[in-house]
């Protein structure tokens, strides 16, 4: 009886050893187990900056800043100020930096924007009807919707006008797009002001906007069922962002 038991145990050990040493057997065993496939969906998100959207430049000032070079420049300025040990020279350098920041820039034409978007597999899907535009436009303006090739939904709308076909506005209404201040469509005016405390509001052609005189990024607020031009701060804070709009700051001020 004991001998038979020993034989059974020995045979079992031999089988286990054979399976362990057989790569094919191990492979087959692994293949028999169900595998969970993780499908990653590519999300098309645009980040709206003061002078560009993603890597697409909108103005002549749209140059990527190298953080290392920026830190090196700041270190050099600090070292120079320390060497001369004169406060007046440090102030003069700051003034020069401010002047450089306020230098004029050119806004790109639609041809340049279109070429940059084509490189990123975007195409003009259609000329948008006036009734489909979220902001009022005049007779000289044209609106074009851009979308990812192969995708029917528009990612954003571009408004242009003038003999040079200059880009005037780019409108983002999808909640997945954001700007450099982390603002996106659907946020309340109160949330926007927490992120950007300098924002003011204005009413133009019956629509309410949050804007900043020093910024190219403004917001169209959802102001349905609100008549007249008298809109309080509390009113704006209770509204939601209907669209994030890139628009050159010289056009922000109420006429």
Q: What is the mean pLDDT of residues 193-199?
A: 92
Q: What percent of the chain has pLDDT over 90?
A: 25
- The total number of structural domains that make up the chain: 3
Q: What is the mean pLDDT of residues 150-163?
A: 83
Residues 76 and 117 in one domain: no
Residues 243 and 170 in one domain: yes
Residue 42 located in a structural domain: no
Residue that is last in its domain, among 80, 101, 122: 101
The count of residues in the chain is 255
Residue 225 located in a structural domain: yes
Which range has the worst mean pLDDT, 40-54, 139-153, 188-202, 228-242? 40-54
Residues 71 and 141 in one domain: no
Return the SS3 of 211.
strand
Residues 132 and 178 in one domain: yes
Return the SS3 of 88.
helix
d(CA 113, CA 107): 10
pLDDT band for 95, please (50, 70, 90 cuts): low
Give the predicted TM-score (pTM) of the model.
0.66
Residues 165 and 241 in one domain: yes
Pairing of strands 47-48, 178-179: parallel
pLDDT band for 81, please (50, 70, 90 cuts): low
Residue 37 located in a structural domain: no
User: Is it the case that residue 77 has pLDDT exceeding 80?
Assistant: no
What the block records as the tokens of 216 is 């190219």
Return the SS3 of 77.
helix
Give residue 147's pLDDT: 87
Which residues are paired to 244 by β-bridges?
A: 172, 219
pLDDT band for 189, please (50, 70, 90 cuts): very high
Residue 144 located in a structural domain: yes
Give residue 232's pLDDT: 87
CB neighbours of 158 closer than 8 A, spacing ≥ 6? Answer: 110, 113, 143, 144, 145, 146, 167, 169, 170, 171
Residues 141 and 210 in one domain: yes
Residues 86 and 156 in one domain: no
Residue 181 located in a structural domain: yes
pLDDT band for 27, please (50, 70, 90 cuts): very low
Residues 91 and 131 in one domain: no
Which residues are paired to 157 by β-bridges?
A: 145, 171
Range of the domain at 7: 2-32
Return the SS3 of 36.
coil
Residues 115 and 7 in one domain: no
pLDDT, greater one: 30 or 239 = 239
Residues 164 and 79 in one domain: no
Residues 120 and 190 in one domain: yes
User: Is it the case that residue 83 has pLDDT exceeding 80?
Assistant: no
Residues 77 and 145 in one domain: no
User: Is it the case that residue 228 has pLDDT exceeding 80?
Assistant: no
Residue with tokens 């003069």: 92
User: Is it the case that residue 64 has pLDDT exceeding 80?
Assistant: no
Cα dist from 144 to 3, 132, 157, 218, whole Å: 88, 11, 6, 20
pLDDT, greater one: 206 or 183 = 183
With contact defined as beta carbons under 8 Å apart, do 170 and 159 qualify? yes
d(CA 218, CA 204): 13
Pick from 194, 213, 211, 193: nearest CA to 202? 211
Q: What is the mean pLDDT of residues 129-136?
A: 79
């Amino acid at each position: 009886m004991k001998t038979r038991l020993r034989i059974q145990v020995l045979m079992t050990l031999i089988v286990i050893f054979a399976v362990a040493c057989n790569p094919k057997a191990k492979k087959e065993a692994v293949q028999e187990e169900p595998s969970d496939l993780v499908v990653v969906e590519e999300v098309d998100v645009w980040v709206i900056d003061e002078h560009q959207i993603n890597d697409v430049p909108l103005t002549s000032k749209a140059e990527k800043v190298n953080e290392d070079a920026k830190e090196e420049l700041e270190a050099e300025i600090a070292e120079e100020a320390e060497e001369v040990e004169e406060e007046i020279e440090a102030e003069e350098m700051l003034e020069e930096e401010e002047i450089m920041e306020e230098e004029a820039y050119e806004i790109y034409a639609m041809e340049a924007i279109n070429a940059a978007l084509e490189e990123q597999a975007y195409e003009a899907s259609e000329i948008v009807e006036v009734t489909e535009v979220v902001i009022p436009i005049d007779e000289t303006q044209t609106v074009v919707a851009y979308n990812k090739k192969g995708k029917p939904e528009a990612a954003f709308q571009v408004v242009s006008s003038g003999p040079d076909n200059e880009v005037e506005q780019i409108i983002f209404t999808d909640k997945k797009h954001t700007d450099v201040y982390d603002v996106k469509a659907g946020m309340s005016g109160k949330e926007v002001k927490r992120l950007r405390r300098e924002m003011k509001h204005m009413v133009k052609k019956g629509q309410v906007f949050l804007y900043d005189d020093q910024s190219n990024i403004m917001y169209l607020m959802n102001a349905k069922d609100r008549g007249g031009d008298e809109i309080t701060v509390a009113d704006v804070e209770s509204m939601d962002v209907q669209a994030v709009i890139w628009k050159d700051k010289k056009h922000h001020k109420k006429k």
